């Protein structure tokens, strides 16, 4: 039996799998600073400052402050403020608020992102095959309500449900986020589900640990891709290749079934002739 014929559910990661960032973080921070009459921050310092600030916030207030009941905007305000400070920029409150509002608005829209051209067709194809399609992402509510729909990836036409860490309080690589997905899909059995992502640690390993099927996309020729492949992970270039891989397995099964029927008929005729 082919994998496709066994499946009832496909879950998909978002960033790196369905969508990608456009440009650089510094582009948006630069535009925001200029809009408040300030010079453009250094791109490299800003990038490093953001990485440090984001890591600290994610450790102190995981899932965008879910457990602490921290409003999403306050989580990001603190993160952006600390990003600037760590990069060497300490604005007065009024100036920072102007800059922050511009940044928060930009990253809550589709402006910094683009959907991969194969994302929408693949999700629609999977749903046409009768599969439930879920989105599983370490992201906050704006991805569900604004960003994905603005990129043409809508709940109801491309995906059926979403599990977003900022909304459920669990984040990858915790396997529980995949268990939540199975429950939301109608208590689908793990062996009837396939997860597609781009991270061995956050996608493949935790999904496989609870019995789901999993595969990884290598859209950007990741340096670790070969070691992932050698460790047994199925690696494909994109969602077009994924659809072909799933369809090929199904077609091969159908061809084998037809061939088996032909052989059975020949065998029966030979027996009758004997």
What's the whole-number average pLDDT of the chain? 92
Q: What is the CATH number of the domain that holds 231?
A: 3.40.50.1000
For 14-72, how does the pLDDT look when each residue is reduced to its tens digit (9 = 90+)? Answer: 999 999 999 999 999 999 999 999 999 999 999 999 999 999 999 999 999 999 999 99
Give burial (CB, 10 Å; 0-12/13-18/19+) of 86: middle
Region 121-142: mean pLDDT is 98
Which residue range(s) make up the domain with 43? 23-108
Residue 50 and residue 171 in one domain: no
Residue 266: per-residue pLDDT: 46
Q: How many domains would you assign to the chain?
A: 2
Region 157-179: mean pLDDT is 98
- Look at residue 142 and tell me if it is in a domain: yes
Give residue 248's pLDDT band: very low, low, confident or very high (50, 70, 90): confident
Residue 213 pLDDT > 90: yes
- Look at residue 217 and tell me if it is in a domain: yes
Residue 60 and residue 157 in one domain: no
For 172-206, how does the pLDDT look when each residue is reduced to its tens digit (9 = 90+)? Answer: 999 999 999 999 999 999 999 999 999 999 999 99
- Look at residue 83 and tell me if it is in a domain: yes
Give residue 260's pLDDT band: very low, low, confident or very high (50, 70, 90): very low
- Look at residue 259 and tell me if it is in a domain: no
Residue 256 pLDDT > 80: no
Instruction: Round to whole Å and give the CA distance between 21 and 117.
Output: 14
Other Cβ atoms closer than 10 A to 258: 10
- Look at residue 262 and tell me if it is in a domain: no
Residue 262 pLDDT > 50: no
Which H or E run includes 114?
strand 113-115
Residue 45 and residue 74 in one domain: yes
User: Maximum CA pair distance of the chain?
Assistant: 97
Region 216-225: mean pLDDT is 93
Percent of the chain with pLDDT over 90: 87
Residue 157 and residue 178 in one domain: yes
């Amino acid at each position: 039996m082919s994998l496709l014929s066994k499946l009832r559910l496909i879950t998909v990661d978002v960033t790196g799998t369905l969508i990608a960032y456009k440009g650089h973080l510094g582009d948006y921070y630069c535009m925001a600073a200029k809009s408040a009459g300030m010079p453009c921050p250094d791109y490299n310092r800003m990038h490093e400052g953001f990485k440090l600030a984001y890591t600290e916030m994610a450790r102190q207030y995981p899932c965008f402050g879910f457990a602490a009941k921290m409003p999403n905007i306050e989580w990001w305000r603190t993160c952006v403020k600390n990003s600037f400070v760590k990069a060497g920029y300490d604005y007065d409150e009024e100036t920072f608020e102007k800059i922050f509002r511009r940044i928060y608005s930009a990253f809550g829209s589709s402006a910094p992102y683009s959907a991969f051209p194969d994302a929408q067709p693949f999700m629609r194809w999977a749903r046409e095959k009768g599969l439930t399609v879920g989105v599983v992402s370490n992201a906050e509510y704006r991805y569900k309500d604004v960003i994905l729909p603005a990129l043409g990836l809508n709940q109801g036409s491309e995906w059926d449900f979403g599990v977003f860490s900022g909304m459920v309080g669990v984040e990858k690589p915790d396997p529980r986020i995949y268990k939540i997905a199975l429950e939301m899909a109608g208590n689908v059995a793990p062996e009837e589900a396939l997860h597609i992502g781009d991270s061995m640690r956050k996608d493949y390993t935790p999904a496989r640990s609870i019995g789901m099927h999993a595969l990884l996309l290598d859209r950007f020729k990741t340096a670790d891709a070969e070691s992932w492949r050698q460790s047994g992970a199925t690696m494909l270039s994109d969602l077009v290749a994924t659809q072909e891989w799933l369809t090929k397995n199904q077609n091969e099964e159908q061809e084998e079934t037809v061939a088996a029927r032909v052989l059975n008929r020949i065998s029966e005729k030979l027996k009758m002739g004997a």
